[in-house]
Amino acid sequence: MTDMTTTTPAKPKRPRPQVMKLTEAAAARITELTKRADSEIVGLRVGIKNGGCAGQSYTVEYAHDVKPTDEVVEDKGVKILVDPKAVLFLLGTEMDYKADKMQAQFIFNNPNQVSACGCGESVQLTPAKAED
């Protein structure tokens, strides 16, 4: 008796999208911060925290190690570690760096941002929708 079952080839996996990308200005600033840090760091950790008048705000801090749950983004020669709880809120975000006479800060150009408060310190985000 012959085996009449046929197997269908496995569907090729879709490439995983990069959570964030960096502008040249952001990459240059991260490189500068990495070199100036008091202790050895592997990159910057980016996340979201609840609070502020719009409900949420971005967090950026030195990362001294890579946690097993971190989403690692390497772009333009630098490393960003994204908090796993923030991935869906940051999907598709471009991180920039702007400096002028009054302030210098990282700017997040985020397609998932619904609104921001007037002072610019907090935002309202929705999770990214899955693409078919």
Q: 48-82 pLDDT, tens per residue?
A: 988 777 778 889 999 999 999 999 999 999 999 99
Query: Confidence class of residue 38 from pLDDT cuts 50, 70 and 90?
Result: confident
Containing 29, the helix (H) or strand (E) segment is: helix 24-36
> Which positions ≥6 away from 23 have C-beta within 8 Å?
94, 95, 96, 97
Residue 124 has a pLDDT of: 67
Q: What is the pTM of this model?
A: 0.76
- Take residue 1 and report the two structure tokens written for it: 């008796």
8 Å CB contact between 27 and 106: no
What is the arithmetic mean of pLDDT over 113-127? Answer: 68
User: Long-range contacts made by residues 66-70, C-beta under 8 angstroms, separation at least 24?
Assistant: 66/42, 70/45
What is the arithmetic mean of pLDDT over 13-31? Answer: 87
In terms of Cβ atoms closer than 10 Å to its own Cβ (0-12, 13-18, 19+), residue 129 is exposed
Does position 35 have pLDDT exceeding 70, yes or no? yes
